[in-house]
Amino acid sequence: MFWQTVLGIWMAAVIGASFLLVPPTQGLGELGRIVIYHVPAAWVAVLAYLMAMANSVAYLRKGDLRLDRQAQVNAELGTVFCLLATVTGAIWSKAAWGWYWNWDPRQTSIFVLLMIYGAYFVLRSAIPDTDRRARLSAVYAILAFLTVPFLVFIVPRVYATLHPDLVLIAREGRQLDMDVPMLLVFLASVAGFTGLYFWLYKVQTGLENLLHKQALKRGEEL
Amino acid sequence: MVQASVAVNDLTKAYRYRRLFSGLSFVVEHNTVFAVLGSNGAGKTTLLRIICDLVPPTSGRVEITTDGRQFDAAERRAILGLVSPDLELYGELTALENLEFFAGVRGLAFSREKARELLEYVGLKGRGHDFVFTYSSGMKQRLKYAYALYHEPRILILDEPTSNLDSRGVALVEEVIRRQRERGIVIMATNEQREVSYADRTLSLA
Amino acid sequence: MRTGRFLWLKRSSAVLQKDLRVEFRTRYAYSTLMMFAVTVLVTVSFSVGGMMLESDIAAALLWIILFFSAMAGLSRTFVQEEESGTVVALKLAADPEPVYLGKLLFNIVLLFSLAVPVVPLFLVMLNLSVAMPFSFVQVVFLGCLGLSGASTILAAIVAKAAAKGALLTVLAFPVLLPLLIGAINATRSTLAGVPAEVLRPDLSLLLFYNGVAVTASLLLFEYVWNE
């Protein structure tokens, strides 16, 4: 209970600070605030997807169904945060560039991630047997993930990007400058989102494990 | 003489949370006909499929050894033969083409002469060039014996060995089991009194 | 008799031969593929009418036709084994790798024999001229290779699922997207005509994608095939 309270207060403080402490950014104006939510959401999506991938590989090596449930939870959380990042990104895109969607390389890659995990969930729902589902969906997750680096190479060859880079990975002319208070709020938000992810992950895996145990019990009663 | 044995060790299988059997252990030695009995749904077929490595057990293991040497999955395929109702052969190929194909994927040289003899042995003389989809279910069952015996397996696994067979077919199965007993092991799942009587040992699944 | 380096090749070709033989007798997968491709092609040609298409639109249309046709037919080889119950007989006799390689080769043959009549027909019906014919053939070749290379293992996954319908298309799209974007981009270049250096990165991407897809499939196929 203690950590949930801390997390709640922390996130509330981040939200407040994003409106009160963060100044309008140069070039992007008031819109720049969205970076406080958009980037951490995207970061958590990538983190969760990487975890799902690691779980899938581990499942194929060890065959422990708990790992499969973890992969599923991570894929679900990744998708939720990925949707948040996509929506916040689209809103910002509309305000800054005048359209919600224009197949910017970043939009393309996030869209492909959503497609991959959309297909992943469809595949899972199409296989009733637990072992088989775990195995086949792990193979699919690995295969799909392997193709992502190709996109990173090919997409910019076809479409030019307008996406602003963060200061940390900035290139000439397109960086998003952050002053000290903004950077602090931003980092606090990243920490908050990450904490939120771990908390959701714990709750969800706990729930899935309980459901599994219950089903096992019911099976034994049969 | 190569001695084969099948050791089943603390085997448990559950399907979607329902336990079929648990803690199953037994050893089948060389020159043994072993029959698995049990009512419908007791898990006879599943047990045979686990021995054939077609289905993974929930826990426990099956060790197949010849001359004290354990086998990996690829070598296991070379010494196992299976006849089962849920195994089908290619209907679009003739009987001889089926045998040729399976010899090919096993990496064996195909001998037309040997295949002809085998077809004659299982009672399909003169039907080798017919498409399998034109076969009756009894003829298909006979062809499955040719498929299972072509590579001269040490261990023959039979699920409902005489299903769809006429009285001459039943006699053929008895003959096959007798011959295989000399050569290695027969493990069969059945509830037919007559087939149970061929067995040296039986196991009842509750 | 069971040793030797070419044994792998021999076993794979046994699988390929068997599939070709069955396919030659039923012509099920091929006629599905072919009819699908022709239907889409005619629809496209009909709706475009007499318009002269830009090379980028034409390139995209060509790969849309090839992608959806491939999805209609490439899962057949595994689904058939599963549905007719021959999968048990095959699994008991064959190692996973020769099965994968045999089926992959079969799918490649199938897709090539589709592309050979359909691609020229596409060019004729849409009244397109190709600025770099040799490179164009190369791109189509590599693209079809990639379509089969990545879809074969997915077809094996689909064959094990309860609902098979459109599953292959859903699963394959994100996996094939880099290949499709790359192939469309390269096809556009060959239709319009560009210096050879501009095309080279696209060709090497297609080649590299093929390599990764087939290697990963070979490593992962065992997990799909065995249970």
Q: What is the dihedral of CA A121, A124, A130, A135, to 10 degrees?
A: -100
C residues 17-36 near B, CB within 8 Å?
Answer: 17-18, 21-22, 25-26
- Could you write out the DSSP letters of every residue in C165-203? TTHHHHHHHHHHHHHHHHHHHHHHHHHH---HHHHHHHH
The string of pLDDT tens digits covering residues C165-202 is 789 999 999 999 999 999 999 999 999 988 888 888 88
CA distance B22 to B90: 36
pLDDT digits (tens, 9 = 90+) for C32-60: 889 999 999 999 888 887 777 888 899 99
Alpha carbons B66 and A183: distance in angstroms, whole number: 69
Of the residues C15, C18, C105, C226, the best mutation for testing chain B's interface (the one with the most B CB atoms within 10 Å of its CB) is: C18
- Shortest Cα distance from B14 to chain A (angstroms)? 9
The pLDDT of residue A47 is above 80:
yes
CB pairs under 8 A between A and B: 16
Report d(CA A149, CA A155) in Å as an integer. 10
Please give the pLDDT value at position B170: 93
Is residue C90 within 8 angstroms of chain B, CB to CB?
A: yes
Asked if C218 and C97 count as a contact pair (C-beta separation under 8 A), the reply is yes
Q: Count contacts between A and C (CB, < 8 Å).
A: 93
Residues of chain A with pLDDT > 70: what percent?
87
Contact C86 B53 (CB under 8 A): no
Strands (E) across chain B are located at: 4-15, 18-28, 32-38, 59-66, 69-70, 80-83, 155-159, 185-189, 201-205
Nearest residue of chain C to residue A121 (CA atoms): C171
- The beta-strand segments (E) located in chain A are 165-166, 175-176
Q: At a CB cut-off of 8 Å and minimum separation 6, what does C131 contact?
A: C190, C191, C192, C193
Contacts of C176 in chain A (CB under 8 A): 147
CA nearest to A140 within chain C: C154
What is the token pair recorded at A40? 């951490």
Contact C181 A128 (CB under 8 A): no
Query: How is residue C158 written in tokens?
Result: 């689909």
Question: How confident is residue A181, by pLDDT bands cut at 50, 70 and 90?
Answer: confident
d(CA B52, CA B33): 16
Q: Which chains are within 8 Å of C by 3+ CB pairs?
A: A, B
Q: Measured between CB atoms, does C96 come within 8 Å of chain A?
A: no
Q: What is the mean pLDDT of residues C5-24?
A: 90
- For chain C, positions 49-88, list CB contacts with chain A under 8 A: none
Per-residue DSSP letter, A85? H
- What are the phi and psi torsion angles at B54 (to 5°)? -90, -25
Tokens of A82: 């990925």
CB C181 within 8 A of CB C63: no
Measured between beta carbons, the chain C residues lying within 8 angstroms of B101 are 14, 17-18
ipTM of the complex: 0.91
Instruction: Judge whether C166 is closer than 8 Å to chain A, CB to CB.
Output: no
Query: In chain A, which among 115-134 make CB contacts under 8 A with chain C?
Result: 115-116, 118-119, 122-123, 126-128, 131-132
Name which of A83-87, A187-191, C95-99, C162-166 the model is least confident about. C162-166
Confidence class for position A97, pLDDT limits 50, 70, 90: confident
Instruction: Identify from B13, B15, B18 which residue to disrupt to test chain A contact, counting A C-beta atoms within 10 A and taking the largest count.
Output: B18
Buried b (16+ CB within 10 A) or exposed e, C177-194: bbbbbbbbbbbbbbbeeb
Query: CA-to-CA distance for C162 and C80, rounded, in angstroms?
Result: 14
How many other β-carbons are positioned within 10 Å of the β-carbon of residue A65? Answer: 15
Query: In this predicted model, what pLDDT tens digit does every residue of B23-77 receive, in sequence order?
Result: 899 999 999 999 999 888 888 999 999 999 888 888 888 988 877 777 777 788 8
Instruction: Give which of A63, A141, A132, A134 is closest to C160, Cα–Cα.
Output: A132
CA-to-CA separations, A211 to A40, A62, A65, A69, A200, in angstroms, rounded: 31, 22, 13, 11, 16
DSSP, residue by residue, A20-60 = HTPPPBTTTBGGGGGHHHHHHHHHHHHHHHHHHHHHHHHHH
pLDDT in 10s for each residue of chain B, 206 residues: 568 889 999 998 887 667 888 889 999 999 999 999 988 888 899 999 999 988 888 888 898 887 777 777 778 888 899 999 999 999 999 999 999 999 999 989 899 999 999 999 999 999 999 999 999 999 999 999 999 999 999 999 999 999 899 999 999 999 999 999 999 999 999 988 888 888 999 999 87
Rg over alpha carbons for chain B, rounded to the nearest Å, is 17
Of A177, A183, A182, A56, nearest in space to A120 by CA: A56
Among B188, B174, B176, residue whose Cα is nearest residue B82: B188
**What sign results for the dihedral spanned by CA atoms A80, A81, A87, A88?**
positive
More confident: A156 or B195: B195
The predicted model scores a pTM of 0.90
Between CA B84 and CA A134 the distance in angstroms is 27
